[in-house]
Amino acid sequence: MNAFELRVKNAPGFRVDASNLLPAVLASTAPHDIPRIVLQGAGETCALGDCFDIAWTQSDAPSLTIEGDARWLDRIGANMTEGTLTVHGHAGDHAGIKMLGGELRIHGDAGAYAACEMQGGRLTIHGNAGDFAAGALPGDMEGMTGGTLTIHGNAGARLADRMRRGTVLLAGDAGDFTASRLVAGTVCIGGKVGAHLGYGMRRGTVFLTSPPSRLPPTFTEGGHGFDTFWLLFTRMLAKEIAPFSQLAGKIVPRRYAGDLAVDGRGELLIANS
């Protein structure tokens, strides 16, 4: 089995669909055929060997590394089921879309719709993420339904929109309509949030390390007796991402229920409020 490294050589001048650049797919392809893989753009195509310098070594597990600024490369890790895919640089839109398994690591920024409709696996973004991370495609009813998305920077608007299952961990700030129309799952935010937090939230949990500038009027305070849950929860967060390490063993947060304009069974946990 081969581990592949693609180093950006020439940007093609148009956006490219990278959904066929998966560790397991490349591992099952003969090395001499790799440079001839066709990458599809919007009405244009290019060969993999025209855009990247390609190297490979023997490996026990399928893996792929992309080196360089690849923000023109969309759908990195789309429908991924196994293996490890690492990007040392920026990535385009739809990174990890409908991901099922494996691990995708982006050591840079990701565009819009990162982890969109993700079903499993782990996606880690060490920079910032654009709008609709862990959300749903336009017209679809479900966003993220499984797996773990970790963002070490900031996120744009509509983070976890229509999310149904899974875990989202954000170290920095989130934009407007965070956790809007949330159905289930857990969203943890280490920084500030924009306007309309939890708009249309039905169920699920949103945790904030600091209070929002304005608490949604359709959330009501209440609920006690989750001290044990809080201890275990903060220990888990401390292992995952640095901003949450300070919370372990601290005071139990305030709990709010909402959005009362809809189902009203979601919970908003706010530390230090």
d(CA 161, CA 138) in angstroms, rounded, equals 11
Q: DSSP characters for 120-137?
A: SSEEEESS-B-TTTT---
Among 22-36, 47-61, 120-134, 237-251, top mean pLDDT goes to: 120-134
Instruction: Break the chain into its structural domains and give their ranges.
Output: 1-67, 75-270
Residue 72 neighbours by CB distance under 10 Å: 20
Which pLDDT score, from 0 to 100, does residue 22 have? 94
- In terms of CATH, what superfamily is 75-270? Glutamate synthase, alpha subunit, C-terminal domain (2.160.20.60)
Q: How confident is the model at residue 155 (pLDDT cuts 50, 70, 90)?
A: very high
> Tokens 């982890």 belong to which residue?
115
Distance CA 223, CA 196 (A): 22
The answer to whether the pTM exceeds 0.75 is yes
**Residue 30: band (very low, low, confident or very high) from pLDDT cuts 50, 70, 90:** confident
pLDDT in tens, 51-92: 999 998 887 888 999 999 999 999 999 999 999 999 999 999
Q: Are 129 and 108 spatial neighbours (Cβ–Cβ below 8 Å)?
A: no
Position 254 scores a pLDDT of 84
